[in-house]
Amino acid sequence: MIFNFKKKLDLTEMKKQAQADFEKALELKEDKTRSSKQYCTRIALQSRTHVDKLFVEAAKKTEDFEALAIEAIAAGGMIPDKPIPLPWLSIQSADGLIYSYIPEKYANQIFAIAAAYQTVKISRAEAIKQAQRTADALFEELGVSQSFNVLQFLRDEEEAENNRTDLDDSSTDEEAEKD
């Protein structure tokens, strides 16, 4: 029992540290020293990973919620509460497993975008566009003018689909020319 309590305390401390690191970056964003810029960039890169992981987690939680809601409606029961994001996530970094933090407003926006994508209310391209806009606002808040692509996995899917469409179109054109 003591071990589990200690571990929980460590996780709480890790979350506090993640938030403190983010807040420190906010304080340093006006400082133009190299070390301050590097620190803010490091937090922005962690935030990019956070956004990607949160998007995937939100899509999965939305899928699970939708299934439970359908079951509840079919059984005449209560619909469960919609899932909500937490501003902290564990992410894999070069230093091992760490906690990352983004403010709730950004976590809520990314979660809502992922939920809309998962329920086919928006397209993949629109999800990428909206998530990138949200991430860019987050990076700007951190004082990082460089934009880091988020949702690269969706971008890759979009590109692969576009390439397949282009190939299908060109093969159709070739077949038409043969006739």
- Give the model confidence (pLDDT) of 124-154 as tens digits: 999 999 999 999 999 999 999 889 999 999 9
Q: How does residue 164 score in pLDDT terms, banded at 50, 70 and 90? A: confident
In degrees, rounded to 5, the angle at the alpha carbon of residue 91 between the alpha carbons of residues 88 and 92 is 165
Mean pLDDT score, 97-104: 94
Nearest-angstrom CA–CA distance, 143 and 71: 46
115 neighbors 58 (Cβ within 8 angstroms): yes
Q: How does residue 9 score in pLDDT terms, banded at 50, 70 and 90? A: low
pTM above 0.85, yes or no: no
Count the helix, strand and coil residues of the chain and give each as a percent rounded to the nearest 5.
70, 5, 20
Q: Within a 10 A sphere around the Cβ of 10, how many other Cβ atoms?
A: 10
Count CA atoms closer than 13 A to 37's CA, side-chain side. 5
pLDDT greater at residue 8 or residue 77: 77
E-strand ranges in 21-122 read: 88-93, 96-101
